[in-house]
Amino acid sequence: MDTRLLDVLFRSEKRKNILLLLQNGPLETAELLKNLNTNRQALLPQIKILENSYLVAHYEDSYELTSIGKLIVSRMKTLLGTVDLLDTDIDYWGNRDMDFCPPFLLERIHELSSCSIVKPSLVNLYEINKDFIEMCGRSKDLYFIFTFTHPEIPPLVSQFIERGMNTHIIITRELHQKLKKEHSERVQRFIDSGKVRYYIYQGDIKLFSFTLNDDCMILRLLTGDGSYDYKQTVCCKPHAIKWGKELFDHYLKDSTLISEI
């Protein structure tokens, strides 16, 4: 893509919005004017630029993307989504260890653009996210990846079992050894319930924790130097939930089911 076409795409907010509006199909001039909240005198010169760049075609009073336009917009939407995600907190994303994310999901990181970065207040710093736990009550299946132990987790797992929820937990080899040494009886009871499935991941998990229910995903990521600063990436949109389930499945395929602690 040469510089001139890049200018066409990104030097005008109106041209960018026209292309995004047309991605779902042809629109008449009146519909474009209404959606863009503009007038014909302001719209038509921008349309002309897009036509001259072979991105938009004009038929009577209707406009639609050309084949080249569809190709460009599909990539542009991904780029804009990625930029929107990073713009929420560039210092946060720029200082995360992104090696937790496999390449095929990193390419789709824009699917998390609706997520928010949350830092718990000092008084809640060490507590499990209560909103997430409340949402768990509406979920059939729960998914967790843990690299640490927390005193609130065992009672919560007991509650999940009582409610008949299926709980899937991936842990590191190091955490497995700790549980085996300090909490073997309790973990075995969880496994014997038939509602909890524990897995050991065979490689390194380069995140602090991952939690997923039907309505929300929370990522607690490590910083670039491997430390943890308590910030949470909270995602509660369907496309982000789907992305999160694929992340869990990525770790699951290289994990071993534990039937006995």
The answer to whether residues 126 and 243 belong to one domain is: yes
Residue 7's pLDDT is 83
Segment 38-55, tens digit of pLDDT:
999 999 999 999 999 999
Half-sphere exposure of residue 184: CA atoms within 13 angstroms, side-chain side: 5
Strands 116-118 and 232-235: antiparallel
The total number of structural domains in the chain stands at 2
The answer to whether residues 101 and 160 belong to one domain is: yes
Residue 126's pLDDT is 59
Segment 119-143, tens digit of pLDDT:
877 656 556 777 887 888 888 999 9
Q: What's 189's domain CATH number?
A: 3.30.870.10
Provide the domain limits for residue 57: 3-78
Q: Which residues contact 200 (CB under 8 A, 6 or more apart)?
A: 170, 171, 172, 173, 176, 255, 256, 258
Please give the Cα distance from 42 to 63 (Å, whole number). Answer: 16
Residue 1's pLDDT is 43
Half-sphere exposure of residue 221: CA atoms within 13 angstroms, side-chain side: 18
Residue 143: strand pairing partners:
168, 212
